[in-house]
Structure 1
Amino acid sequence: MPDALPDTALDQLFRTARTFNGYTDAPVTEADIRAIYELAKMGPTATNQHPGRFIWCTTPEAKEKLAALASDSNAAKVRKAPATVIIAYDKNFHEHLPTFFPHVDARPWFAEPVGRERSAQQNANLQAAYLILAARSLGFDTGPMAGFDAKGVDAAFFADQPDYHSIMIMTVGHGDPSSIQPRLPRPPFDQFNTIL
């Protein structure tokens, strides 16, 4: 059984980690992006389905293209962040299951389209959370956002992949402490938990 992480690691991942609205000028390199993904991909998904699809916007052109499809306040964040990742799900992820779940043909388990898409959304959201934790683990900060035109993003970035649907955008970089407000309240255990 592994040991618990030290408090410094728990602080970095959870207790003192924050969602940032602005970043320093420190870059996020392709090597950094690859390192974040290499950690995040290790998180579990149902039947190892890996429905998440990711486009990392790092050039001024890509950031401007995405910013034009974000709400006003989020557009400014996208333009200023060193990197912003578009997180989408592939509703036909099951076609890849022979590779990722090779010990049995699990494709028939996802034959029903509505249930398959729901599973893709749920598991891509898990993968978004893993990206946050992976980035924090490697010393980066993140700013996940939902304020954007998802259909517009799909048309602009996934036109050649009509089965991909964006669910979130997330800035990544080294956070500027002046861009955050005091931490908002978190619910105590007894408010939303029951042990039976």
Structure 2
Amino acid sequence: MSDLSPLSDAALDRLFRQARTVHAFQPVPVSDATLHQLYDLLKWGPTAFNAQPARYVFVRSAEAKAKLLTAVSKGNWKQTESAAVTVVVAQDRRFQDHLPTQFPAYDAKPLFDGNAQLADTTALRNGSLQGAYLILAARALGLDAGPQSGFDAKAVDAAFFPDGRWTANFLVNLGVADHSATFARGPRLAFADAARIV
């Protein structure tokens, strides 16, 4: 049985309480080994039917970054340009092709083959979850993250996914923060305003 004791305060601070959305980065590279570590953590997060519909493009080279920046909104351009790597969190429109291997409990593939709306909803919901796992995995590995949706998704799809199988969901800038550009922390809703126990 796994150890279910709470994480230390230091770990909770790093993952949640002190972690910030980053808007500028120091010129510190992120290695291939770290990106592999990142994926090897985030892949364990749960998804419906173990479908794992998210796909990740780690945009790091100058050529790829230049291509991406043409699709990024003006307000997000500098932070994306300064990030060591920007992750295009995408979703595979044919994620169900992997279900016979990834979900052997029963044959779930026909559920999605025959229902495009269910497949799209499942891909978006679970791919978004996986993007959140990516942010937490990055923080756990000592990286800072700046997720953003200020970009032209159709332009990103045309540049990176011309065959149409993968589609962009959102971007996550990764690296070591330059906190001189970090905004003052915004308030969070109180439990009574955001939750109920029934």
User: Aligned pair 1:148/2:172, yes or no?
Assistant: no
**Cα drift, residue 80 of structure 1:** 1.1
Figure out how many residues of one structure are paired with residues of the other and give that number.
Answer: 195
| CA drift at 1:90 | 1.1
Distance across 1 between alignment mates of 2:103 and 2:57: 24
Query: Which residue, 122, 133, 137 being the options, matches 1:134?
Result: 137
Q: Deviations over 1:94-145 (max 9, x none)?
A: 1110111022111122220011101100000000000000000000000001
Q: TM-score, normalised by structure 1?
A: 0.97
Q: Find the residue that maps to 2:91 and give its secondary structure.
A: strand
Q: Percent identity?
A: 43
1:1-196 alignment, distance < 5 Å: 1-110=3-112, 111-160=114-163, 162-196=164-198
SS in 1 for 2:24: coil
In 2: Cα distance, 1:44 partner to 1:23 partner: 30
CA deviation digits over 1:79-99, x for unaligned, max 9?
111100001111211111011
Unaligned runs of 5+ in 1: none
> Residue 72 of structure 2 aligns to a residue in which SS?
coil
Q: Residue 24 of structure 2 contacts residue 78 of structure 2 at CA under 8 Å; is this kept in 1?
A: no
Q: Which range is displaced more, 10-19 or 108-117?
A: 108-117
Cα distance between partner residues in 2 of 1:74 and 1:55: 18
- Decide whether the 8 Å contact of 1:58 with 1:82 is kept in 2: yes
- Quote the RMSD (CA, aligned, Å): 0.9
Give unmatched runs, 5+ long, in structure 2.
Answer: none
Distance 2:196 2:61 in 1: 47
